[in-house]
Copies of this chain bind each other. A is one copy, B any other.
Amino acid sequence: MKLITEVAAEAGIGEQHLELYGKYKSKLAPSLWEELSHRPDGKLVLVTAVNPTPAGEGKTLTTIGLAQALNASGVKTVAALREPSLGPCLGMKGGATGGGQSQIVPADEINLHFTGDIHAVTSAHNLLSAMIDNHIFHGNALDLDPQRIIWKRVMDMNDRSLRSIVTGLGDGNGTVREAGFQITTASEIMAVLCLCDDLSDLKKRLGRILVGYNHLGQPVTAQELGAVEAMAALLKEAVKPNLVQTLEGTPVIVHGGPFANIAHGCSSVIGTRYALKLGDLVVTEAGFGADLGAEKFMDIKCRQAGLTPAAAVLVVTVKSLKYNGGVAKSELGSENPTALLEGIPNMERHIENLGKFGLPVVVAINHFAGDSPAEIEAIQAACQRLKVPSAVSKVWAEGGAGGQELASELLRVLEQDSADFEPLYEDSLDITDKITTIVREIYRGAEVSFSPAAKRSLAVIDRLGLNELQVCMAKTPYSFSDQAKLLGAPEGFTMGVRDITLSLGAGFAVVITGNIVTMPGLPARPAAEGIRVDEDGEIHGLE
């Protein structure tokens, strides 16, 4: 690892703008923005993927490897990534810092507490939670209805026992009511942090957060509870982007990490803007597959921040296409070009969808050791048929060197300057039409059915005049539809909307389809059990 001061210097960041966290991590001070803001932006490239499968597609890995490859080929590139959450690190998933020769470092510190941003979100969120119950306890001047409080508590841990709880039991402990915890990344404050322009915009957004309703059914906000300034104080360091590096010394801004279903699943706007000033090219990623992640990246993040992406990289793997072609998880290791061909329509539809946002696409075939030449060739042939450039990416095994082909294809596409970005829908459409547009254009469902609860929510949205909000779809990532097992490229299905909730600080309505879990549980053998720390304080078993 290079010292982070050195990484910064190479990226043109003076030491006076660094707020170091040890030798290998730094926050970027607002003073840097004053220096950068007049510069032109670099080009923004989104790395997205086909629908995720149990085999893992390697989107973060590809983002890191591609940035390394671009730098190696002489293009000044910065990656912009999400911060890993502790819960999944200790639970099912392990770390989220890439792998093999394409990692961001120091991986253990980034995976665990990093620079404390997620802890700050937890604190700010739970301060508001405590102030809500405290407000009721001390007389409830706002007449909050304890049955209609929608603001939960959060913890950055996978803890299913906290999903649904009753609080306020015992003498003198407040009002007994149903409550619950979400994982911190599901906090609206995380979404707010990732969408705000600066500290001042952060405060405005925090103030708009809807915490519940009074007994007349009128909304009550964080502003009314007097919590905004203290929350902002708790978040004042967290809004500053973090600089780290890849294994090859490429600068990476790792900042923010909202859920990709009930939130928009992208790293912060602030971090992306810094990256665009520092790099001629910025590679970033969005959560889940392109149906969820890329759509929200463009319809929410890019729209709100005025960003114009120049291209998309779609990550596919031999295994993911076989899985989408109907092969069972246990059989994914066996060569099966026929099944793979059955999965190609999934890739094809994602490519087509990305075109609807005006973006040219490069397919990155993320190579795994067991992939057969015939399978790789089948993907390449499909891409040729679709007239979409593709490249085999070996960044896990070879780092930037393994991403040269991908980098070249991407640079060729960018040279053509063919992007003509536009969001999928207009802000002026009402919420129902926005949902229908996404379902028809992106998911290819035939229609949308709204549950009674969803209809009531739509009526509230009408009453409160909130149709200008964007929509944030919360749906299974595994299928274009709302049913996880409908793989490939299903169509003609009816999309069921169970409920619609309001994230007024983030600026979107969350459209809930199916059963969305916002507090994961631990598996029978949590990743935590495999972690070790040796006498020198080195951590093992976390990556």
Contact = CB atoms under 8 A, between A and B. Distances in A.
Interface in A142-179: 153, 155-170, 172-175, 178-179
Interface in A495-543: 521-524, 526, 528-529, 531-533, 535, 537, 539, 542
Interface in A180-220: 199-200, 203
Interface in A1-60: 19-23, 27, 30
Contacts of A138: 523-524
Q: Which of A113, A133, A203 has the most CB of B within 10 A?
A: A113
Contact of A157 (B86, B126, B179, B522): B126
Given A120-B113, A522-B131, A531 B230 contact: yes
Q: What range describes how many residues of A lie at the interface? A: 35 or more
A130 B522 contact: yes
Contacts of A109: 237
Q: Which of A23, A200, A522 has the most CB of B within 10 A?
A: A522
A198 B338 CA distance: 58
Contacts of A437: none
A27 to B, nearest CB: 8
A365 interface: no
B112 A113 contact: no
A539 B226 CA distance: 16
A130 B519 CA distance: 12
A90 interface: yes
Contacts of A116: 113, 116, 119
Given A165-B166, A528-B227, A535-B200, A133 B160 contact: yes
B173 A157 contact: no
Contacts of A236: 533, 537, 539
Contacts of A120: 113
Given A113-B119, A155-B155, A160-B168, 5 more contacts: A116-B119, A123-B157, A161-B175, A165-B168, A233-B531
10 contacts: A21-B21, A109-B237, A116-B119, A130-B158, A131-B526, A133-B161, A137-B521, A160-B174, A161-B179, A164-B173
Interface of A: 19-23, 27, 30, 86, 90, 108-109, 112-113, 116, 119-120, 122-123, 126-127, 129-131, 133-134, 137-139, 153, 155-170, 172-175, 178-179, 199-200, 203, 226-227, 229-230, 232-234, 236-237, 521-524, 526, 528-529, 531-533, 535, 537, 539, 542
**10 nearest A-B residue pairs (beta carbon):** A230-B528, A164-B170, A119-B119, A130-B159, A164-B169, A133-B161, A134-B522, A138-B524, A20-B20, A161-B167
